[in-house]
Amino acid sequence: MSSQHTNDTPAVPAVGADSAFRREHVLRDEAPQFVLPLVVRIEKAEPPARTDALETAARAVLVLLTDERARGGGEWAQAVRDWQDARIRKVVRRARGAEWRKAESLPGITVHGDAAQVRVFPPVPLDGWPKELAKLQVSGTDLDDPGPVPAAEGSGLPVLWLNPELGMSAGKAMAQAGHAAQLAWWELTGAERAAWQESGFRLAVRTAARERWGELSGSGLPVVRDAGFTEIAPGSATVVADHPALRTRL
What are the tens digits of pLDDT across the range 138-180? 876 679 999 999 999 888 999 999 999 998 999 999 999 999 9
Tens of pLDDT, residue by residue over 91-116, are: 999 999 999 999 999 999 999 999 99
Residue closest to 57 by CA, chosen among 178, 212, 215? 178
So what's the pLDDT on residue 141?
Answer: 66
Measured from the Cβ of residue 104, the count of other Cβ atoms closer than 10 Å reads 15
- Rounded distance between C-alpha atoms, residue 244 and residue 239, angstroms: 16
Residue closest to 184 by CA, chosen among 205, 215, 213, 211? 205
Confidence of residue 16 (pLDDT cuts 50, 70, 90): very low
- Rounded distance between C-alpha atoms, residue 236 and residue 250, angstroms: 23
Residue closest to 156 by CA, chosen among 200, 225, 202? 202
